[in-house]
Homo-oligomer: A and B are copies of this chain.
């Protein structure tokens, strides 16, 4: 197992930019969080990522790993499209490399989380793994036969857009009945508020499951939708283990107990794969970006771009 060593990682999320510098033993030596300035346009978002990376780079840092949601071109270091961030064809890795004069890698945030799960979490001994990241959105990293699945255009793992209810809730993607429209944290809060009560986070809702029938209902609908999507994913890919990660995974047994029930209910003809909570917490993407940065070499496009400005 390789732990991140002397790298800076930046996780560009829809609401928050998280960054950390990891030392030789994979310990975060320093970290920061800033709100993602999505309302101020693409240039401001890129500048915020550059600022976060630059603030943490020290002389012993050998590379920087970025991760972001959306359609990510890992080889070119470009965010092809990220609706929640307002970015399109954004050369994020090159922008950071120009500032820090180091090799910079860019990976999809969920695939980064999946990488972290395989190296530091519950995926080390498993060749057929699904890592579902439950956050503002809902996406998954898929490992099949020991290999990460990327798909024809790099968009494999859009787990949140599995349709679970024909003609169901309208999703931000334009479809109806997507799993994400029930089970993502944003959907949970939106659906709960519709009952007239107020909540800011998924945790506000899970804290009221015993006392508020509306909270219990939207949570039951969320976990059922997640279970249904996992049924689908299991019949197609025959996972050995399913790991739930991201902010909502902090719900622990409140999440796994109904999800396991829903999954087994939908798999009458076979045994359901194990469903576990990731031990990596909400920073799995950040850790994965750091691990990915360890793969950076002098031949990465971002580094080539940086070298045009001279050696460091």
Q: A residues bordering B, Cβ < 8 Å?
A: 126-128, 140, 142, 144-145, 147, 149-159, 161-166, 173-175, 228, 231-233, 235-240, 266-270, 273
Contacts and interface: CB of A to CB of B under 8 A. Distances in A.
A252 to B, nearest CB: 25
Contact of A144 (B144, B174, B238, B269): B144
B162 A236 contact: yes
A158 B116 CA distance: 29
Consensus secondary structure, chain A interface: loop
B235 A158 contact: yes
A235 B128 contact: no
**What 5 pairs across the A-B complex have the smallest Cβ distances?**
A151-B238, A174-B268, A152-B240, A128-B152, A156-B238
A161 B269 contact: yes
B159 A151 contact: no
A115 to B, nearest CB: 16
A236 B156 contact: yes
Nearest to A168: B166
Nearest to A167: B165
A66 to B, nearest CB: 22
A154 to B, nearest CB: 7
Given A173-B269, A268-B175, A238 B159 contact: no
Contacts of A273: 152
A235 B145 contact: no
A269 to B, nearest CB: 4
Contacts of A233: 236
Contacts of A158: 235-236, 238
A273 B165 CA distance: 22
A299 to B, nearest CB: 22
Contact of A238 (B150, B166, B231): B150
Contact of A236 (B159, B173, B269): B159
Given A144-B156, A145-B149, A149-B237, 20 more contacts: A128-B152, A140-B236, A142-B236, A142-B237, A144-B151, A145-B150, A147-B147, A150-B238, A151-B238, A153-B238, A153-B240, A154-B238, A157-B236, A161-B235, A161-B269, A162-B235, A163-B232, A163-B266, A165-B166, A166-B166
